Amino acid sequence: MPDFAAPVERLIDELKHLPGIGQKTAQRLAFFLLRAAPEDALALADAIRDAKEKIRECSTCHNITDADPCLYCVGPTRNKKTICVVEEAHNILAIEKTRTYNGMYHVLGGSLSPLSGRGPDQLHIKSLIERLKGGTVEEIIIATNPTAEGEATAVYLSKLLKPLGVRVTRIGVGIPVGADLEYADEVTMLKAMEGRRDL
């Protein structure tokens, strides 16, 4: 006899596919949905369906969007001379929240990771080079994650883009604001020392 009725087992299985959701959490979520009012549970089902139907990739920057080109690509006040390169679409939000960057974006769709089979061809690099052809773009800010893979991607892109006559910069790495030096790992501390500035 299975642990639960078939539709419940199926729901738990599907929930377990979500990242960070194991058997116990999937069970808890499934029972929550079963207890919830039908309209509330179905609202989630509909939201998933709706998002999958309406959301696609911006053909210019590969951001996720319900209008192509996306809001950032068509924004009349946005500075077309700078492109900020990020790994994933949701990284854009972290940058937008600073309210200081007003340029364009380009979503790579990940970072270089030979072990996971992600080479340059699996990332949106060709379309980035394509965007430089008009001659409008003056600076590429590489905002990949400061991880081993993100750094490797940054170095790769830098070598590829600099010969095309564009300025290539990398976001600063160091101790986060509000953190305590005591708890900084060695590599971050090293990067913070390297990235020191005159006062």
User: What is the arrangement of strands in the sheet containing 103-107, beginning at the earlier edge strand?
Assistant: 103-107, 79-86, 139-142, 167-170
Tell me if residue 155 falls in helix, strand or coil: helix
Least Cβ distance, residue 142 to a copy of itself (angstroms): 21
- DSSP H or E segment with residue 38: helix 38-54
Q: How far is the CB of 4 from a copy of itself (least distance, A)?
A: 7
CB closer to a copy of itself out of 30 and 83 = 30
Under a CB-based contact definition with an 8 Å cutoff, are residues 142 and 111 in contact?
A: no
Minimum distance between the CB of residue 123 and a copy of itself, rounded to whole angstroms? 14
Cβ closest to a copy of itself, residue 70 vs residue 125: 70
Least Å from the CB of residue 93 to a copy of itself: 5
Q: Is the CB of 107 or the CB of 141 nearer to a copy of itself?
A: 107
**Residues making contact with a copy of itself (CB under 8 A):** 1, 3-8, 10-11, 13-15, 17-20, 25, 27-34, 36, 38, 40-55, 64-67, 70-71, 88-90, 93, 96
87 or 161, CB closer to a copy of itself?
87
Q: Kindly give the pairing relationship between strand 79-86 and strand 139-142.
A: parallel
Output b/e per residue, 165-191; b: 16+ Cβ within 10 A: ebebebeeebbeeeeeeeebeeebeeb
